Structure 1
Amino acid sequence: MTISPAIIILSQAALPMARRIAVATGGDVHGLARRITESVDATFTNTGQHLGDLFQDGRPIVALMASGALIRLLAPHLGDKHNEPPVIAVAEDGSAVVPLLGGHHGANDLAREIARVVDGFAAITTAGDLKFGIALDVPPEGWVLANPEAAKQMMADLVAGKTARLEGEADWLANSGLPLSAEGETTLVASANAVNAPADGLLYHPKNLVLGIGCERGADGDEALALALESLGQAGLSPASVGLVASIDVKADETAVHHVASHFGCPVRFFDAATLEAETPRLKNPSDIVFAEVGCHGVSEGAALAAVGAAGELIAEKRKSKRATCAIAQAREAFTAANLPGRARGKLMVVGIGPGSEGWRSPEVSRMVSASTDLVGYSLYLDLLGPLAKGKTRHDFDLGKEEARVRHAMELAGEGKSVALVCSGDAGIYAMATLVFELLDKADGPEGLTPEARRIEIAVSPGISALQAAAARAGAPLGHDFCTISLSDLLTPWEDIKRRVTAAGEGDFVIAFYNPVSKKRRTQLAWARDKLLEHRPASTPVILATNLGREGELIRVVPLGSLNVDDVDMLTVVVVGSSNSSTVTTGDGKTWVYTPRGYARKEGSAMISMVSGDAA
């Protein structure tokens, strides 16, 4: 998947040019907050930190700023040139477009594209790219250079006038501007075989081999990997040319299959039994036993053949270990992200976006959302993603449709998609992560999930909870023991809620009340207030935090005895201090709430002091 660039501007004057570039490249405009008066896709306050974060995340950077300044800001992050994203400096008037980093990772091509849009000049300085339109040290997707240490000398020789001889098939080399000759003085080899690199040239491996893997349920991953390596060795094939691992769809959650793919750093694709059965005429070892078990006459050979298609061929028939099988097929073309066959194992990423603002969203969550194909969530939460939602398929749900929302997300993942299930706050605190696992737990019931949805990969990423956000805005009320209680009785009986509030009051916990009120439910918070007044002073500070991290944010601190239910709405989190919680006012007039880490009691508290475990 191509990552869209971040267009960086430091002044309002650069905004029109940045927008032209963003439209042409599918990028987002990021502006320095204190100098931008109009709305942009994202803002930042520290230019160096923001550029560094983008660079570390592998995000292409197009900066409308001086190239020297851009170089100095990114200098601390420079390392392996083979893993750096494109970095391009553009003059504010568009007259010069300079690819500074990642020339072989798309920066040169991106610079040319931008130059065409802004009527500027792309200052390409890479020697090989200039002369031959190709970079020998960084082959295109789907190819691997076996001896990269020899690329610099090879390119220097060709630039100096030597010719090259191409052995094997590689259209990207044959159709380039390289000086190729049947009598070439240097050698370019393209082969999937396990051969040595030529002493006078370069060896490229096309990633066009498929490992078809079959295994018993729960088979050991190392066993399957050892079989795969042995199969490659017996066939004289290079492990570097493995571009895909394939199997039957009922093995989508099989650890051994993914262990093999992880070793080779390649994707995994799955096929249903009917697709594999269609390959029966091409199988070398059809099995009636396998057919009786899974509905096709061969898993490893069938999956390998299905992956390479009619133009490919089986080049190493099925080999067996105790609990696994492996076969190898070769495709006509190298595998890339654009031509992968079959279906991926779907992935469900349950993410907490915090209160919603970009500054309170973790980098991991942002990466997960960026990597997704589909977004599922309450409409407001999806809107809060801003430019991160660009290019994604949205599946909007109303409030109150939580189970339908989660089920839909899991079924989408079951189709092989990468789905982000978006929650506010933290995904595991009064949010959707719990429902995901509940549905899995009852997956075999009459209302259960499809078999495909039960085999998905799941990842949960935390976010800043409303409790944490309220505490941070108000000071440090969570300095000692605390708990959270939802006052909504839609899913929890009111008697259970009352019991928990009573226990928390007796235990002298700081308490964060979620769902304190609703349009129809106004009495629970008042009851909780009165119950807590039996155990802590009326002066106990209470934090009312509304619209945290969003427009209209309001933080109020009131005494427990004066807590008015009418001051609380559905977007408010209520944090009630313990008998130890205190307030302090700073010179600017702001009142802060904190809870000391010790156990000293306030005067007037009805709590019994406990010293070394004994009642005083």
Structure 2
Amino acid sequence: MSSQKIAVVARTRRGSQLAARIALALGADLAVPSAWSAPAGAAHYHGSVLDEVRRRWPECSALILVMATGIATRACAPMLGDKASDPAVLCLDEGGQWVIPLIGGHQAGANALALRVAQITGGQAAITTASDTQGLPALDGLGKEHGWQIEPGSATTHAMAALVNGETLGLFIDPELKEQAEQVRGWLAECPSIEEVASPEELAAYPAALAVSHRALACWDTIRPTSIRYTPPALVAGIGCRRGVPAPELRAALLATLADAGYHPAALAALATAELKADEPGLRELASELRLPLRIIPTAQLSALDPAGFSPSAAQQRFDIPGVAEPCAQIAAGGPLVVPKRSFERCTVALALTSSREQTQRLSLIGIGPGDLQQMTLAARAALQSAQVVIGYRVYIEQVRPLLAPWQQVIESRMGDEMARAGEAIDMAAAGRHVALISSGDIGIYAMAGPVFELLRDRGWQGSAPAVEVLPGVSAFQMTSARLGAAIAHDLCTISLSDLLTPWEVIERRVQAAAEGDFVISFYNPRSKGRDWQLARSLDILRQHRPPTTPVALARNVSRPDETITITTLAQLDPEQVDMFTLVLVGNSQSYAIAGGMATPRGFERKLEQRGQP
């Protein structure tokens, strides 16, 4: 998994204050010297700042260093490897006036990050890369948001120098990549001297060149010293197999199919197979090895296709579907077959060309449930595992990490940066990715669906670009009720006691109305170190309307390994028993405790009595 982790490291007291501000705004890790105070969640380091930077280097996608440029340079110098793998590094003065991208301006995204940080500090991003100062595109950053990869050994520095020096660049785009060609021409529209050629061999005549192809280029060794080569993920491989075929055998068949058709292995965007093969260990192992998603095509979708449009297949008789390799490749890719089914001893392989119009701009808002992954819905799990990018609060990311695959990009953030998290998810989905934004419980209840739709409203969203789906999860109050028995069998409401976003006067009126209406009430965010009186005030209101024996459940970390559930009464409840990890579920006036649980009558017994039944 590619993890987008940012760390902000400071050295001085004033620098630590600025670093805390930046870390909060970006949802980044914060590291300050042990001598200085820091917000909750920050890490204190005790040794040299050089050691701290070097310790964090391999685990971060970006480092923001609030310190002198010389110190930052000495810290990073021994760690430098390759521009394709080094993290982005920014250096700031402790006043935040100058934000300097030191390393990874284009490929690691340091220039873009510097602009974001400058907005936070009110300073100036001191971007020095020549292409940016001239308003030219970064040749080493094309298609990054679409998952494009630069071929190792490409002459990125040489080609960029030629571009900024005004030399003519040759450009080859494989004619089969019609959609990608439109994108590349748009990206390069500001370049003053680009000449497009009909074959990659012609690039050898130019001082520098750019090749965009999903094929294995025979001339690559010849043009590599002066060229950048991109291989867009433009192919989906549909694979069918017998039971128990191991991953090495499937891999050999796949690579043979690619090689014989002249395609580059890096051009694979995904593997695809039929629902009836979804549990094949060999297929799942192969997808994991290749760091590719495995798309599972539902049987119903395959059965609706006309078998006449595909090569004859035994699956037509055995499973009433037109085949596996060809239709799965075509459905998953959204484009035409480019290599019909090839049959091997125990498997079949077909290749289809992706269509960005079919495959991109999807945002899945996923409720992952209260903690136990077994409580996660099948639809939510499927969307999570098929997403190219997974974004969430770091605690929730750790919760679902067993379900994630190596090919998925994972972006962790801190609590408190919900709007930034929502904006990043929308932006990445709109740029052409399938993004999963996760929240615990139900994403529509006090969670991330709200910020997402607020931003979509403000941006004038019309229901597409990106397409948005909301996949609900089991909420904490539902899980608590299930543990108790039938606590919410009658009318209920949920109320958050946090006044960070809602004035207390409004919350108090809601508590009063719920008390008078005799609702079962689930209190979220009941108590924290900074908000230690709201629960007590709410209980005082409820005691005016309900018997002192009204059962109350305190459910802490429900469905997680350290779950605890305590049954008490409205009279006996002590707010000191409650923290931010506790859900407080208060019964209505008719609720009762039973065998360590709680139930609320719906009124069936009274209905029977009215009918004269015993």
Go from structure 1 to structure 2 and tell me whether the alpha carbon gap of 1:180 and 1:53 turns closer, same or farther (over 3 Å shift).
same
Indicate the residue corresponding to 1:148 in structure 2: 153
C-alpha displacement at 1:170, in angstroms?
5.7
Say yes or no: does 1:207 pair with 2:208. Answer: no
Q: 2:343 aligns with which of 300, 316, 320?
A: 320
Say yes or no: does 1:302 pair with 2:330. Answer: no
Matches within 5 A, 1:165-564: 165-168=170-173, 169=181, 171-172=183-184, 174-176=186-188, 177-182=190-195, 185=206, 186-195=208-217, 196-197=219-220, 199=223, 201-262=227-288, 264-280=290-306, 283-287=309-313, 289-291=314-316, 293-294=318-319, 296-309=321-334, 312-333=335-356, 370=394, 373=397, 375=399, 387=414, 393-395=439-441
Query: Structure 1 residues 329-338 or 89-98, which shifts more?
Result: 329-338
The one-letter amino acid paired with 1:221 is A
**TM-score, scaled to structure 1:** 0.53
2: CA distance between counterparts of 1:386 and 1:333? 28
2: CA distance between counterparts of 1:147 and 1:131? 27
Instruction: Give the conservation status (yes or no) of the 8 Å contact 2:9–2:65.
Output: yes
Instruction: Give the conservation status (yes or no) of the 8 Å contact 2:93–2:99.
Output: yes
The one-letter amino acid paired with 2:238 is G
2: CA distance between counterparts of 1:331 and 1:371? 34
Cα RMSD over matched residues? 4.3
1: CA distance between counterparts of 2:295 and 2:61? 27
Go from structure 1 to structure 2 and tell me whether the alpha carbon gap of 1:334 and 1:159 turns closer, same or farther (over 3 Å shift).
farther
Specify the SS of the correspondent of 2:399. strand
Cα-to-partner distance string for 1:551-592 (whole Å, 9 max, x where unaligned): xxxxxxxxxxxxxxxxxxxxxxxxxxxxxxxxxxxxxxxxxx
Instruction: Give the conservation status (yes or no) of the 8 Å contact 2:154–2:228.
Output: no
Specify the SS of the correspondent of 1:93. coil
Go from structure 1 to structure 2 and tell me whether the alpha carbon gap of 1:217 and 1:371 turns closer, same or farther (over 3 Å shift).
farther
C-alpha displacement at 1:180, in angstroms?
3.9
Specify the SS of the correspondent of 2:4. coil
Go from structure 1 to structure 2 and tell me whether the alpha carbon gap of 1:64 and 1:252 turns closer, same or farther (over 3 Å shift).
farther
Say yes or no: does 1:78 pair with 2:80. Answer: yes
Indicate the residue corresponding to 1:121 in structure 2: 124
C-alpha displacement at 1:162, in angstroms?
1.1
1: CA distance between counterparts of 2:90 and 2:259? 44
Go from structure 1 to structure 2 and tell me whether the alpha carbon gap of 1:129 and 1:274 turns closer, same or farther (over 3 Å shift).
farther
Say how many residue pairs are matched.
376
The one-letter amino acid paired with 1:64 is V
The one-letter amino acid paired with 2:104 is G
1: CA distance between counterparts of 2:160 and 2:44? 42
Specify the SS of the correspondent of 1:234. helix
C-alpha displacement at 1:23, in angstroms?
4.3
Cα-to-partner distance string for 1:356-403 (whole Å, 9 max, x where unaligned): xxxxxxxxxxx99959647389xxxxxxx994898752259xxxxxxx
1: CA distance between counterparts of 2:32 and 2:398? 27
The one-letter amino acid paired with 1:53 is R
The one-letter amino acid paired with 1:35 is W
Indicate the residue corresponding to 1:446 in structure 2: none
1: CA distance between counterparts of 2:148 and 2:271? 16
C-alpha displacement at 1:108, in angstroms?
0.9
Specify the SS of the correspondent of 1:105. coil
1: CA distance between counterparts of 2:320 and 2:88? 48
Specify the SS of the correspondent of 1:162. coil
Say yes or no: does 1:54 pair with 2:56. Answer: yes
Indicate the residue corresponding to 2:42 in structure 1: 41
Go from structure 1 to structure 2 and tell me whether the alpha carbon gap of 1:248 and 1:374 turns closer, same or farther (over 3 Å shift).
farther
Go from structure 1 to structure 2 and tell me whether the alpha carbon gap of 1:388 and 1:299 turns closer, same or farther (over 3 Å shift).
farther
Where structure 1 has 5 or more consecutive residues not aligned to the other structure, the ranges are 351-366, 378-384, 397-416, 420-514, 520-616
C-alpha displacement at 1:284, in angstroms?
2.0
Indicate the residue corresponding to 1:29 in structure 2: 30
Where structure 2 has 5 or more consecutive residues not aligned to the other structure, the ranges are 174-180, 198-205, 367-371, 375-390, 402-411, 422-437, 443-470, 474-561, 567-614
The one-letter amino acid paired with 1:171 is Q
Go from structure 1 to structure 2 and tell me whether the alpha carbon gap of 1:206 and 1:68 turns closer, same or farther (over 3 Å shift).
same
Indicate the residue corresponding to 1:157 in structure 2: 162
C-alpha displacement at 1:72, in angstroms?
1.8
Instruction: Give the conservation status (yes or no) of the 8 Å contact 1:165–1:188.
Output: yes
Cα-to-partner distance string for 1:44-73 (whole Å, 9 max, x where unaligned): 333344322321113421121122212222
Go from structure 1 to structure 2 and tell me whether the alpha carbon gap of 1:371 and 1:220 turns closer, same or farther (over 3 Å shift).
farther
2: CA distance between counterparts of 1:336 and 1:92? 44
The one-letter amino acid paired with 2:118 is A
Go from structure 1 to structure 2 and tell me whether the alpha carbon gap of 1:318 and 1:332 turns closer, same or farther (over 3 Å shift).
same
Indicate the residue corresponding to 1:8 in structure 2: 9
The one-letter amino acid paired with 1:194 is A
Indicate the residue corresponding to 2:588 in structure 1: none
Instruction: Give the conservation status (yes or no) of the 8 Å contact 1:376–1:395.
Output: no
Go from structure 1 to structure 2 and tell me whether the alpha carbon gap of 1:9 and 1:108 turns closer, same or farther (over 3 Å shift).
same
1: CA distance between counterparts of 2:269 and 2:235? 6
Q: Higher relative CO (CA 8 A, sep ≥ 6), structure 1 or 2? A: 2
Instruction: Give the conservation status (yes or no) of the 8 Å contact 1:21–1:114.
Output: yes
The one-letter amino acid paired with 1:62 is I
Specify the SS of the correspondent of 2:310. coil
